[in-house]
């Protein structure tokens, strides 16, 4: 009798589980599937890459938002994407639900920078890397580098005197030298030319299609990347033999108690160079342009910087900048903020959905890239009235949450933002107190790919203030 009772309960349980499974399957299958966000995917594989990188990104994104709303799909650099352009959506992806979206880049960038780079990881490994990077780049870590940065800034500006130069290219050299100083210390000077040669080849392939065939940009870039890793390995070997502590990023990586592999160190060094160089150089180029177009703003910045010089003279102090001096530049700081907003050097960042995610009634499929559109948010009249106008005074009032995000947001925000602001402030101090410059040629054009820049990199001529600016030739009237 007990056996029969036991069998009854067993079969009853199995039947109940089967019935429950059938009901769940029925209601799940009968539930309507979530739609993808509206939008177009463009050509097969190529997608809409060329449309994005060949024109004003404002036009590309604004036309999409106008047609589809603040969330839409596209296809960029070989990846299906969902693009989002509201502060609420950006907070959802970068902060509140950040665990559902891992940091990523298109395949070409991932392979060039290296899969162990901080950009592509989450969890404990990412937290460990971020701690090591911040150790070198927090205010406490960089305040003792002000004099070195000042020396590089002075050398850079002196090399431009009286010449017709491409501002962007010159600022790339300036920021590259500071990146090497911050990463390698004195070793950066020793290997500077080899590092520069390899990196300049590597960067040309960042936005190329990942086609690794001889002769392609991607192939050349990957070869340069291999050589870069070999140079880093040489520096690592030399430091291990010397057994000396170094107060730079490489020293921070090597000093980690848990230990990073040489591959992990190389991937992160190359990644930091990528993050530290072109973006900051672009910001500086736009600052040259905006200051030349806004004399009253230039005058305010100049007076602020000259006040620092006078203060040192009156106190009998040495005429070198200190960390404390860089904290006495509120107007300059607002100019930097407004440039970051208007220029929006990073139009967007990349994330990847680690599982199917629902947002605002749409499906973001697992494996799709998600692009928070910083540029759209920075140029929205709802967030910044008259958004195309360059007006640093708007930052006298703190912007609304998640509307000003030039360095990203959340645990993956840029850990080097303090260093970037420092090197910009130091150069602006010497630029405005010692020099005047004039833009040569057309001043309204903009070029794209991948960053928005003034046409031709903003050609300028730079003169010491004590020198007379060349007088233009008088026009002889025709008879």
Sorted by where each begins, the domain ranges of the chain are 118-343+383-464
Q: Given a cut of 90, is residue 335 above it in pLDDT? A: yes
% of the chain with per-residue pLDDT over 90: 51
Query: Domain 118-343+383-464 - what CATH class?
Result: mainly alpha
The answer, yes or no, to whether residue 16 has pLDDT greater than 60, is no
Q: Which two tokens stand for residue 202?
A: 């590597």
pLDDT at 22 over 80: no
DSSP 96: I
Both ends of the chain: CA-CA distance in Å?
128
> pTM value?
0.84
C-alpha to C-alpha distance for 83 and 65, rounded to whole angstroms? 9
Structure tokens at 227: 């050589």
- pLDDT for the residue numbered 17: 38
139 Cβ contact partners less than 8 Å away, ≥ 6 residues apart: 323, 418
Query: Is residue 369 very low, low, confident or very high in pLDDT (cuts 50, 70, 90)?
Result: very high
Distances from the Cα of 214 to the Cα of 219, 227, 312, angstroms = 6, 17, 58
Lowest mean pLDDT among 16-25, 139-148, 429-438: 16-25
Distance CA 177, CA 283 (A): 16
The residue with tokens 């040192």 is 312
Exposed, middle or buried: residue 175 (CB in 10 Å: 0-12, 13-18, 19+)?
Answer: buried
Sorted by sequence, the CB contacts under 8 Å of residue 290 that are 6+ apart come out as 297, 335, 338, 339, 342, 390
Report yes or no: 172 and 42 within 8 Å, Cβ to Cβ. no
Task: With H, G, I as helix, E, B as strand and everything else as coil, classify residue 207.
Answer: coil
CB neighbourhood size of 375 (10 A): 23
Tell me which H or E stretch contains 164.
strand 164-166
Q: What is the DSSP letter of 403?
A: S
Tell me the Cα Rg of the chain: 27
For 117, list phi and psi in degrees, rounded to 5: -65, 155
**273's tokens:** 């160079």
**Cα–Cα distance measured from residue 456 to residue 372, given in angstroms and rounded to the nearest whole number:** 28
Query: Of the ranges 5-19, 208-222, 232-246, 267-281, which one carries the lowest mean pLDDT score?
Result: 5-19
Q: Which of 305, 248, 275, 288 is nearest to 420 (CA)?
A: 275
Find residue 462's DSSP bridge partners.
161, 437
Strand order in the sheet with 459-464: 164-166, 459-464, 435-439
Q: What is the reported pLDDT for 367?
A: 92
Q: Residue written as tokens 């260093």?
A: 419
Provide the annotated binding site for heme: 414
Quickly tell me which residue has 């703190």 as its tokens: 398
d(CA 77, CA 75): 7
DSSP H helices in 204-294 = 217-242, 249-254, 262-276, 278-293
Indicate if the pLDDT at residue 34 is higher than 60: yes
> Which residues line the annotated binding site?
414
What's the CA gap between 349 and 369, in Å, rounded?
10
Nearest alpha carbon to residue 182 among 258, 253, 287, 283: 253
pLDDT of 451 higher than 80:
no
Distance between CA atoms of 291 and 307, rounded to whole angstroms?
Answer: 18
Over 70: is that where the pLDDT of 59 sits?
Answer: yes
CB atoms within 10 A of CB 327: 12
DSSP 346-367: S-B--EEESS-EEETTEEE-TT
Q: What is the mean pLDDT of the chain?
A: 85
Q: Which of 285, 336, 269, 271 is nearest to 173 (CA)?
A: 285
- On whether the CB atoms of residues 356 and 363 are closer than 8 A, the answer is yes
pLDDT top residue among 358 and 469: 358
Q: Whole-angstrom Cα distance, residue 198 to residue 233?
A: 14
Q: What is the model's pLDDT at position 207? A: 67
Per-residue pLDDT tens for 221-278? 899 999 999 999 999 998 988 877 788 899 999 987 668 999 999 999 988 888 888 8
* pLDDT band per the 50, 70, 90 thresholds, residue 58: confident
């Amino acid at each position: 009798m007990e056996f029969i009772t036991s069998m009854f309960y067993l079969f009853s349980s199995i039947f109940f589980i089967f019935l429950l499974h059938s009901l769940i399957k029925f209601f799940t299958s009968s539930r309507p599937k979530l739609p993808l966000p509206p939008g177009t995917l463009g050509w097969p594989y190529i997608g809409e890459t060329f449309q994005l990188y060949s024109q004003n990104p404002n036009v590309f994104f604004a036309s999409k938002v106008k047609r589809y709303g603040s969330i839409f799909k596209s296809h960029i650099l070989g990846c299906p994407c969902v693009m989002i352009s509201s502060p609420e959506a950006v907070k959802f992806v970068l902060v509140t639900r950040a665990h559902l979206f891992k940091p990523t880049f298109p395949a070409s960038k991932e392979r060039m920078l290296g899969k162990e780079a901080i950009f592509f990881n989450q969890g404990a490994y990412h937290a460990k890397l971020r701690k090591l990077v911040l150790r070198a780049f927090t205010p406490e870590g960089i305040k003792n580098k002000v004099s070195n940065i000042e020396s590089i800034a002075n050398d850079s500006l002196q090399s431009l005197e009286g010449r017709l130069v491409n501002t962007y290219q010159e600022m790339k050299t300036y920021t590259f030298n500071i990146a090497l100083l911050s990463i390698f210390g004195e070793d950066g000077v020793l290997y500077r030319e080899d590092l520069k040669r390899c990196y300049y080849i590597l960067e040309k392939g960042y936005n190329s299609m990942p086609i690794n065939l001889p002769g392609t940009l991607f192939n050349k870039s990957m070869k340069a990347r291999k050589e870069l890793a070999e140079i880093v390995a040489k520096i690592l070997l030399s430091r291990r033999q010397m057994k000396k502590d170094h107060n730079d990023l490489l020293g921070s990586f090597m000093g980690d108690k848990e230990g990073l592999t040489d591959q992990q160190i190389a991937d992160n060094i190359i990644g930091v160079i990528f993050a530290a160089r072109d973006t900051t150089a672009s910001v500086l180029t736009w600052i040259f342009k905006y200051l030349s177009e806004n004399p009253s703003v230039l005058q305010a910045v100049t007076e602020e910087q000259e006040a620092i010089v006078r203060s040192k003279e009156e106190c009998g102090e040495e005429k070198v900048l200190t960390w404390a001096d860089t904290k006495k530049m509120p107007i300059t700081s607002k100019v930097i903020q407004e440039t970051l907003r208007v220029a929006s050097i990073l139009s967007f960042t990349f994330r990847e959905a680690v599982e199917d995610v629902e947002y605002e009634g749409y499906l973001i499929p697992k494996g799709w890239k998600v692009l928070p559109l910083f540029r759209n948010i920075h140029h929205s009249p709802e967030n910044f009235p008259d958004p195309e106008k360059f007006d640093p005074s708007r930052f006298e009032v703190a912007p609304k949450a998640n509307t000003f995000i030039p360095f990203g947001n959340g645990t993956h925000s840029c850990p080097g933002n303090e260093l970037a602001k420092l090197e910009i402030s130091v150069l602006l101090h010497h630029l405005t107190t010692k020099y005047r410059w004039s833009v040569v040629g057309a001043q309204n054009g903009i070029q794209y790919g991948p960053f928005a820049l003034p046409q031709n990199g903003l050609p300028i001529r730079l003169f010491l203030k004590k020198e007379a600016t060349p007088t233009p030739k008088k026009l002889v009237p025709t008879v």
